[in-house]
Structure formats: structure tokens, C-alpha cells
Amino acid sequence: MTKRRILYITLLLSALSLFIATYLQFKLFIDYSNSTGKSRGLFGLKEAYQYSYRKYFTILPLFAVAISLFYTKYEELRFLSLTITLISIMAIIFSLFSVWRLYI
């Protein structure tokens, strides 16, 4: 495989991870908006138990960051690899942190 093809595959995986993480954050926001009273007070528990699988969506972007940082040493691939790094870091942030609270 060529270097550029590997970078495009990592770009696709990073974008897919970012889309899934954003969708899960939006789903959390909708669940919080539909809850009332005590449910909102205990929503952190629901988030911890029902949506605990969202942490696993950081694995692919971590690999993508490693691969794209490896390819930054090539001048012709530097812009593409830095773009992939940025998208991957956004996917990691959306997967690990509760960004849905900013939607409120």
C-alpha cells in the first residue's frame, strides 16, 4: 500500500469515529432533554452505565494519530497528515468527555 492510501484510510476511520462520537453526544443530549426531575439529577449514573461503550471509540483515533504523526516527516503528505491528526484529536475529545453538556 502506498503512503497516501494509508493516510486516506486513517482519514476515513477518523471521520467515522468523529461522526459516531458526535451522534452519541447528541443522543445523550436528547435523553437528558427528555428526562425530568430526579432523572436529571441521576443522569450521570445513566450516562456511566448505559453509554459506557463510547470510550471504546477512542481506539481507532489513537491509531490514526500515531500513523498520521509518523507520516508528517514527508513534506508532500504533511498537510493531509496534520488534518487527520486534528480530526482524530476531535474524535478523541468527543469520545472521552461529555461535550453534550455544552448543547444545553
75, HSE (Cβ side, Cα atoms, 13 Å): 0
**CA–CA gap between residue 84 and residue 10 (Å, rounded):** 7
Task: Kindly state the average pLDDT of the residues 3-26.
Answer: 92
The answer to whether residues 52 and 44 touch, using CB atoms and an 8 Å cutoff, is: no
Task: Say how many Å lie between the first and final Cα of the chain, rounded.
Answer: 45
Give the tens place of pLDDT for each residue, 55-95: 888 899 999 999 999 999 888 889 999 999 999 999 999 98
The 10s digit of each residue's pLDDT in 25-61 is: 999 899 888 888 888 888 888 888 888 888 888 899 9
